Copies of this chain bind each other. A is one copy, B any other.
Amino acid sequence: MVETERQRIVIVGAGLAGALLACMLGEAGYSVGVYERRPDPRARGLTGGRSINLALSVRGIHALQRAGLAEAVLNDAIPMRGRMIHSPAGRLTFQPYSKNPNDAINSVSRGGLNVTLLDGARKHPNVRYHFEHRCIDVDIDKPSVTLLNTADNETTRVDADVVIGCDGAFSAVRARMQLVDQFDYSQTYLGHGYKELTVPPTRGGDFAMEPHALHIWPRGGSMMIALPNRDRSFTCTLFWPFVGPGSFKAVKSEDEIQRFFQANFRDAVELMPSLAEDYRRNPTSSLVTVRCSPWFYEDKVVLVGDAAHAVVPFYGQGMNAAFEDCVALVECLEQSKSDRHVAFERYFRGRKVNADAIADLAIGNFIEMRDRVASPAFRLRKRAEGMLHRLCGRWYTPLYNMVTFSRIPYAQARRKAARQNQILAVIGWTVAVATLMVILGLLWGLDMR
Q: Hey, which bits of chain A sit against chain B, CB under 8 A?
A: 170, 178-179, 181-189, 242, 286
Contact = CB atoms under 8 A, between A and B. Distances in A.
A184 B178 contact: no
Given A182-B189, A183-B187, A184-B187, 16 more contacts: A170-B179, A178-B187, A181-B189, A181-B286, A182-B242, A182-B286, A183-B189, A184-B186, A184-B188, A184-B189, A185-B185, A185-B186, A185-B187, A186-B186, A186-B187, A186-B188
Contacts of A170: 179
**How many copies altogether?**
2
Contacts of A242: 182
Contacts of A183: 187, 189
Nearest to A193: B182
Contacts of A185: 185-187
A188 B178 CA distance: 11
A175 B129 CA distance: 31
A4 B261 CA distance: 52
Query: Among the interface residues A179, A182, A188, which one has the most CB atoms of the partner chain B within 10 A?
Result: A182
Contacts of A187: 178, 183-186
A189 B170 CA distance: 21
A205 to B, nearest CB: 39
Contacts of A189: 181-184
A181 B287 CA distance: 10
Contacts of A182: 189, 242, 286
Contacts of A186: 184-188
A222 B178 CA distance: 27
A170 B189 CA distance: 21
A178 B188 CA distance: 11
Nearest to A184: B188
A249 to B, nearest CB: 13
A286 B188 CA distance: 24
A151 B242 CA distance: 47
Contacts of A286: 181-182
A186 B291 CA distance: 9
A186 B178 CA distance: 10
Nearest to A181: B286
A290 to B, nearest CB: 10
A242 to B, nearest CB: 8
A231 to B, nearest CB: 31
A405 to B, nearest CB: 34
A192 to B, nearest CB: 11
- Among all A-B residue pairs, the 9 with the closest Cβ atoms: A186-B186, A182-B189, A185-B187, A181-B286, A184-B188, A182-B286, A184-B189, A184-B187, A185-B186
A417 B121 CA distance: 62
Contacts of A188: 184, 186
A182 B242 CA distance: 10
A177 to B, nearest CB: 12
Contacts of A181: 189, 286
Contacts of A184: 186-189
A286 B183 CA distance: 10
Nearest to A242: B182
Nearest to A191: B182
Nearest to A285: B181
A414 B154 CA distance: 56
A448 B183 CA distance: 71
A68 to B, nearest CB: 38
